[in-house]
Amino acid sequence: MSKQESTIEELSLCVRLRPELADLEGATEMKVPGDARAKLELGDVGARLELALPRLATTELRYVVDQAIRALGGIVPLGDVVLDGTDIDDATLLTVALDLHHRSKGRVSIPENQAIADEMKRIARAEDMYRNWVNEDPCTRTSLQIAKDVASWAADFEDVEVTVLEEGELREKGLRLLLAVGGASEASPPRLVLAEYRPKGASQAPLAIVGKGITFDTGGINVKPYASFVSMMKNDMGGAAIACALFESLVESGYDKPLLLVVPTCENAVGENAMRPGALVESYSGKTVRIDHTDAEGRLVLADALAYAEATYAPSEFLCFATLTTAALNAYGPFATPVHFADEQRAERIERAGAAMGEDFHFFPKRLWHTIANADKEADLRNTARLPGNASAGAGSRNAAHFLLEFVTAPLCHFDIFASTWNWSGEAPGAGYGATGAPLRSLLAALAPE
Q: Which of 302, 270, 260, 280 is nearest to 406 (CA)?
A: 302
State the catalytic residue, choosing from 224, 234, 290, 382: 224
Given a contact cutoff of 8 angstroms between Cβ atoms, the answer to whether 190 and 143 are in contact is yes
- 126-to-160, 243, 405 alpha-carbon distances in Å: 18, 10, 29
Given a contact cutoff of 8 angstroms between Cβ atoms, the answer to whether 281 and 177 are in contact is yes
The rounded Cα 236 to chain-centroid distance in angstroms is 11
Distance of alpha carbon 73 from alpha carbon 67, whole angstroms: 10
What interhelical angle do 90-103 and 344-357 show, nearest 10?
60
Given a contact cutoff of 8 angstroms between Cβ atoms, the answer to whether 50 and 416 are in contact is no
Asked if 257 is an active-site residue, the reply is no
The angle at the Cα of 36, spanning 35 to 40, to the nearest 5 degrees, equals 145
Tell me: cis bond preceding 439? Omega within 30 of 0 counts.
yes
What does residue 99 show for φ and ψ, rounded to 5 degrees?
Answer: -60, -45
Distance of alpha carbon 306 from alpha carbon 309, whole angstroms: 5
Pairing of β 191-197 and β 259-268: antiparallel
Residue 184: partners with Cβ closer than 8 Å, 6 or more residues away: 220, 267, 269, 270, 271, 272, 273, 274, 275
Asked if 224 is an active-site residue, the reply is yes
State the catalytic residue, choosing from 299, 349, 398, 441: 299
Map residue 375 onto helix, strand or coil: strand
Residue burial 368-385, b: 16+ Cβ < 10 Å; e: rest? eebeebbebeebbbbbbb
Bridge partners of 281? Answer: 289
> Active-site residues: which are they?
224, 299
